[in-house]
Amino acid sequence: MAVRFELASRRSFRRVRWLAWIVLLLLSSPVLRADGVPPGLTPDLQKIRAALDKYRDPVAAVHDGYFSTLGCVEFPKAAQEGQVPTYVVGGMGVHFFNTSLIGPTLDPMRPQVLVYEPVGDKLELAAAEWFVPLATGITERPTLFGKSFDGPMAGHHPLMPAAMHHYDLHVWLWKKNPAGMFSPTNPDLRCPKTGYSFAEQTPNLVPHEKPKN
């Protein structure tokens, strides 16, 4: 009886140990935190996210000058030669632009674009985007948060004129992005099959030409 009890105790201990390892693995995996913050956000990015949290309500964004470009954008094909190389297959969502913030100087607390994901009949805040057209007179590739901007690239046709050559940087502050926090597209974001959804091509890279006087 003592031997059987000892064997049963050992089996129970092994089960408990394996369960403990499984729990530890789950807790350490890069999933969305319980407070909804994507993994990898630096303290500075967490501050920016907290400051922009009020725009989870898209109506609040409209009140502050962010206006919707109407369509949900996704990219069914990854970048090809001559296109912006960071684009992977995935969605980009619905963009709300604040044109009053566009200029050659960047403010980390004031992105030019808010990106929303359609979820059912609602829009959920997913990312922020800093957007700099070449026409602002910018002289070199901008950087923010230690990251170089993508581009320069042509405008995202059809919701943007192709002649709107620009740099941009996406930061997925609210929605986890398996392609990376600074990837322009998110494989986990999908646009609705009906309504204003656009399957676009990855924008072409363009030369950085100084604006004509």
pLDDT at 25 over 70: no
Are 40 and 49 contacting, i.e. CB atoms less than 8 angstroms apart? no
Residue at token pair 């303290």: 43
What are the CA-CA distances from residue 209 to residues 57, 104, 136 (Å)?
A: 38, 15, 12
pLDDT at 191 over 50: yes
Q: What is the pLDDT of residues 95-118, one digit of tens each?
A: 999 999 999 999 999 999 999 999
Give the separation between CA 123 and CA 199, rounded to whole angstroms: 19
pLDDT at 24 over 70: no
pLDDT value at position 55?
A: 98
pLDDT at 19 over 80: no
pLDDT at 188 over 80: yes
pLDDT value at position 27?
A: 38
Looking at every residue in the chain, the average pLDDT score rounds to 88
What average pLDDT score do residues 8-13 get? 52
pLDDT value at position 194?
A: 84
Whole-model pTM? Answer: 0.83
> Which of the residue ranges 30-34, 46-50, 106-110, 123-127 would you say has the lowest mean pLDDT?
30-34
Residue 62 burial by CB count (10 A; 0-12/13-18/19+): exposed, middle or buried?
A: middle
Residue at token pair 């322009």: 184
Collapse the DSSP code of 205 into the 3-class scheme (helix H, G, I; strand E, B; otherwise coil) and give the result: strand
pLDDT at 16 over 50: no
Percentage of the residues of the chain whose pLDDT score is greater than 90: 78
pLDDT value at position 211?
A: 62
Q: What is the pLDDT of residues 37-82, one digit of tens each?
A: 788 899 999 999 999 999 999 999 999 999 999 999 999 999 999 9
What average pLDDT score do residues 172-181 get? 98
Please choose, from the candidates 200, 206, 127, the residue with its C-alpha nearest in 3D space to the C-alpha of residue 167.
Answer: 206
Give the separation between CA 49 and CA 174, rounded to whole angstroms: 8
Q: What is the pLDDT of residues 131-156, one digit of tens each?
A: 999 999 999 999 999 999 999 999 99
pLDDT value at position 195?
A: 86
Give the separation between CA 56 and CA 49, rounded to whole angstroms: 10
